[in-house]
Structure 1
Amino acid sequence: MNGTGNTILVTGGTSGIGLGLALRLHQAGNKVIIAGRRKALLDKIASEHPGIESVLLDICDPHSIQRSSEALAISHPNLNVLINNAGIMQWENLTEPQGLRTAEDIVTTNLLGTIRMVYAFTPQLLKQPSATIMNVSSALAFVPLPATPTYSATKAAVHSFTQSLRVQLEDSSVEVIELAPPGVRTTLLGQENDEHAMPLEEFLDEIFELLKISPTPSELVVERAKPLRFAEATGSHDEVLKMLAAYKPPAE
């Protein structure tokens, strides 16, 4: 992935990792378009950071995705980077039937949203001389957090989907990258003050060092994520799973 001169669409670009990536990429000399569902917030970010553009896009609505892809193909024909970052994470108790709706929402957002974005935008990306799809999974794709089972499962599925996408596009101009963060201090699951989570700016620093490597690694995995990413290979999967099982939802 080129460090500058790209036209980049970032889903979930109004907060957390998505906004952090968008701001860093904008500062590096890229045209950045953030996508989200809240117009007021999109407008606020764009006004505070001149040059950043925004598009109203509901990752859970296939019609919204299709409309956005068609509109951006006209307004930004040079769009060559798609960062599928939008996602939600919720605590779940699998013994409570009413939790099924939460699980379905997580699947729709995290997995179907990513898949639909890939189908909608890949034709435009294939027209570019050099393009990138970056799918954001999670270190929990490799060892699940039992208290967030559907989130962990969707990220495992995103990892698998990304591997297949990479193989299918290997002879094209589109490179496929997976970003697998550890717990980061963002509002996702209320981790903004979690001392066990990685500070956002520290995470971004490490990611952008990895992005300087040529060719770009197919997986962007910071040091804190490696114990989970390589748990199977090191034979520590059961030990790490037991550790994660001790992490419980906060008492209400």
Structure 2
Amino acid sequence: MDITDRTVFITGATSGIGLELARRFAAAGSSVIAGGRRADVLDRLRAEGFGAVPIDVTDQDSVDHARDSILRGHPGLDTIVTMSGIGIPEDLRDPAHFAAAQQMIDTNLLGTIRVIDAFTPRLVGRGAGTIITVTSGIGFLPFPVMPTYAASKAGVHAYSEALRAQLDGTGIEVAELVPPAVATTPEQVRRNPRALDLTAFVTEVMDLLQITPTPHEILVEGVLMHRWAERDGTYADLVAQRSQALAMLTGRQ
């Protein structure tokens, strides 16, 4: 895809990967509307020349209001990036985990669907555009400490595949960004020294996005071991290795 002349709306653009993607699209020449819940960051982005709208992807009214505001100010919108997501560790032996599971499904899976539904009619009417969903390497190679996060991202993968099939022939392309662990905060660097550097990760992503045609899956080098573990016969060993992290849960040894 040509990233130099797009009008891009990114949900979850007030931190981490979403914020860095917003800056990279803008630097390439695209117009960017950042969406998120952090009003202070949205104000800073407005001051930098970005479009910015508050949005809570778990709230249908908030999604609808954001859509209406964006389409009034940016009728040429042609690219949606569904970056919003949360990940919470869970101990499945404790039924109290269900509240966290519900929150992750509502944000990661249903939030993605709400945003896509809000803009698909406009993109179909234009006859062109791009939807970029965001999953995770954990959706292909589970990290047992975060079971519902993995399930939600696997769900977004399946939904992306179906969305691409249903939109075939409309002029809308569907790409799935599959991040591995990416160090977006100093705390994440401390917890996972093997997490990818944010700047290097997004540089690789932007290079992959510019391939023509846009790949169905945006796979940086660091996520290939997750994506192809079953095919390569490494799945069982890697899941066992990653299960060692269960010791971090309270009350486990």
State the TM-score bracket (shorter-chain normalisation): over 0.9
CA distance in 2, matches of 1:59, 1:46: 20
1:197 to 192, 195, 198: 195
2:20 corresponds in structure 1 to: 20
Query: Is the Cα–Cα contact under 8 Å of residues 10 and 35 in structure 1 kept in the other structure?
Result: yes
Q: Identical aligned pairs, as a percentage?
A: 39
Match of 1:237 in 2: 235
The equivalent residue for 1:8 is 8
Structure 2 length normalisation: TM-score? 0.94
Alignment pair present for 1:29 and 2:29: yes
Shift of residue 51, structure 1, vs aligned partner: 2.2
CA distance in structure 2 between the aligned counterparts of 1:232 and 1:250, rounded to whole angstroms: 26
Between 1:209-218 and 1:81-90, the stretch displaced more is: 209-218
Pairwise CA distance, 1:243: 1.7
Distance 2:118 2:128 in 1: 18
Aligned counterparts of 2:241 and 2:205: Cα–Cα separation in 1:
25
- Equivalent-residue separation in structure 2 for 1:22 and 1:241 (angstroms): 33
Q: How far apart are residue 211 of structure 1 and its match?
A: 1.5
Q: CA deviation at 1:6?
A: 0.7
Partner of 2:178: 180
Name whichever structure is richer in helix by fraction: 2
In the alignment, the residues of structure 1 paired with residue 221 and residue 156 of structure 2 have an alpha-carbon distance, to the nearest angstrom, of 21
Q: Distance in 2 between matches of 1:120 and 1:45?
A: 23
Structure 1 residues 140-163: Cα deviation after superposition (integer angstroms, max 9, x where no partner): 111111000000000000000000
1:1-252 pair list within 5 angstroms: 1-47=1-47, 50-187=48-185, 190-193=187-190, 194-248=192-246, 250=248
- What is the distance in 2 between the residues matched to 1:148 and 1:51? 37
Rounded to whole Å, the distance in 2 between the matches of 1:24 and 1:95 is 42
CA contact (8 A) 2:55 2:62 kept: yes
Greater mean deviation of Cα atoms: 53-62 or 235-244 = 235-244
Give the aligned residue type for 2:111.
G
What letter corresponds to residue 51 of structure 2 in structure 1?
E
Distance 2:91 2:185 in 1: 21
Equivalent-residue separation in structure 2 for 1:122 and 1:83 (angstroms): 12
- How far the C-alpha of 1:213 sits from its partner, in A, is 1.2
Q: Per-residue displacement from partner, 1:150-206 (whole Å, max 9, x unpaired)?
A: 000000000000000000111111100000000000249x52443110000110111
8 Å CA contact retained: 2:91, 2:249: no
CA–CA distance in 1 between the matches of 2:36 and 2:98? Answer: 25
Q: Does the aligned pair in 2 maintain the 1:231–1:237 contact within 8 Å?
A: yes
What's the CA shift string for 1:62-108, capped at 9, x where partnerless? 11111211222222110100000000001111111221111100100
Structure 2: which amino acid aligns with 1:135?
T
Compute the TM-score of the two structures, normalised by the length of structure 1.
Answer: 0.94
Which consecutive residues of structure 1, in runs of 5 or more, have no partner in the other structure?
Answer: none
Gap runs ≥5 in structure 2? none
Residue 191 of structure 1 aligns to a residue whose secondary structure is helix
SS at structure 1 position matched to 2:152: helix
* Structure 2 CA distance for aligned equivalents of residues 99 and 44 of structure 1: 35
Could you tell me how far apart the structure 2 residues matched to 1:139 and 1:196 are?
Answer: 14
Tell me if the contact between 1:166 and 1:175 (Cα under 8 Å) persists in the aligned partners. Answer: yes
> CA–CA distance in 1 between the matches of 2:159 and 2:24?
27
3-state DSSP class of the match of 2:245?
coil
Kindly state the Cα deviation for residue 37 of structure 1 after the two structures are TM-superposed.
1.1
What displacement does 1:39 show?
Answer: 1.3
1:31 maps to a residue whose letter is S
